[in-house]
Amino acid sequence: MLDQLSQKLERIFKKLRGKGLLDKKDLAEALQGIKLTLLEADVHYRVVKDFIARVEAKALGQEVLSSLTPGQQVVKVVFEELCQLMGEKQTPLRLSSAPPTVWMLVGLQGSGKTTTAGKLAKFFQKPGRRILLVAADTQRPAAVEQLKALGEQLGVEVYQPVNRSHIGEEVTICKEAVRFARTEFYDLVILDTAGRLHVDDQLMAQLRQIKETVRPEEVLLVADAMTGQDAVKMAERFDQEVGVEGVILTKMEGDARGGAVLSIKAVTGKPIKFVGVGEKLDALEAFHPDRVASRILGMGDVLSLIEQAQEVFKENQAEELEKKLRSDSFTLEDFQEQLRQVKRLGSFDHLLGLIPGGERLKGMMISEQPEKEMKRAEAIVNSMTRVERKNPMIINGSRRKRIAKGSGSTVENVNRLLKQFLEAKKMMKAFTGKRTGRPIGGLFKAFKGTRG
């Protein structure tokens, strides 16, 4: 997710961090690089222009230029402006004080509305909460059947047209579904409305009529993140014609550039509320601007990692993981333990994206099979003694040969693992603000403060 954008910005900031002092020429060169990177990422030109102007105004301040670590201070400025660009804080979905809460999904065909309806049901599913999915898309073949299949997987009821005479009567379907939900005491109703291949007047008129009839708590636009500025233009059109409260971006796991995620809030004023990050029903994440900004700048997303760990691990295991990641005590022995459980958190590639400096660890994955490389790494760590895992600095040449032989690997693979582990550990230490020389403690505090 956003890999291309992150890698290009990292190269720019690496040059800045290598300078003891910064002058206006250095900043001008860096800002030009950031500008070109954002434009190449398909970010809206006006958004880029305003963003660069704000960063330049702050970066030229004496507090930055006279800092002991001016490069890191510039990164801090960019981080803060990225957060502001995307909305600063998470914007949760509203729940009605008088159930049922009704959420209406709108968007074009192919954007992922039906799957997103199922993902929302999964995300908000909990004991005692009754959820009703409404198959209000009679235009697309098999849309009703797809939603029924999702409902069966979740154990959630699906309201659907009684007979073929309902085709084209989406307004009636939604009206009857909400009435049914009210009389049967449902808590949440999710309307999967019809879409089109292109925006047309007939679609907009139908959506406006549904909105006026059922008065949903939220109208949510479902848009494909990989379409970049087309998604932004579509958001503008739907908001003008129907009125939306927020956006759900799908296929974010395949969006390497970031044009839509960085432009939508600034152009439309509407917040991104959720992002789809995979095909499975649990692959839906609440959108946190600060966490996404942190990942874009290569600092990982520790809070999301902790939340996922708390769902998978026991509470004491999750707390221990948090302590290790936030301190300088994460050893190869801890790494070994996490490798044993990492599959429960998802793919290794996904996990690395959440760890500060994790992108550098990808250098050890020399093939296109990250899980295979993970097994190799685990074998290498397992071949070490406990003392070596606790203190990798004692691993000399002879020890490396022994470890390589014991793991069925090579000395080169052992060297690569140790190097990347130490680099990641160094970045974790900087991230927590404990490295000497005034590192990015201020940036971490800004990030940490979002925990509430």
**pLDDT reported for residue 360:** 55
| Displacement of CA 299 from its chain's centroid (Å) | 13
* Topology, domain 302-451: 434 Repressor (Amino-terminal Domain) (1.10.260)
Indicate whether 442 pLDDT > 50. Answer: no
Alpha-carbon distances, residue 218 vs 106, 124, 140 (angstroms): 11, 15, 23
- The 10s digit of each residue's pLDDT in 89-127 is 899 999 998 899 999 999 998 899 999 999 999 999 999
322 with 338: CB under 8 angstroms? Answer: no
**pLDDT reported for residue 125:** 94
**pLDDT reported for residue 354:** 60
**pLDDT reported for residue 449:** 36
Determine the length of the chain. 452
* Topology, domain 101-296: Rossmann fold (3.40.50)
- Examine domains 3-86 and 302-451 and report if their fold is the same: no
User: Residue 22: pLDDT band by 50, 70, 90 thresholds?
Assistant: confident
For 123-139, what is the mean pLDDT?
Answer: 92
User: Domains of the chain: which residue ranges?
Assistant: 3-86, 101-296, 302-451
What SS3 state is found at 398?
Answer: helix
105 with 222: CB under 8 angstroms? Answer: yes
Domain boundaries 3-86, CATH class: mainly alpha
Total Cβ atoms within 10 A of residue 173: 26
- The 10s digit of each residue's pLDDT in 266-317 is 999 999 999 998 888 988 999 999 888 888 887 655 555 555 555 655 656 6
- The 10s digit of each residue's pLDDT in 385-402 is 989 988 888 999 999 999
**pLDDT reported for residue 89:** 87
For 211-239, what is the mean pLDDT?
Answer: 93
Indicate whether 435 pLDDT > 50. Answer: no
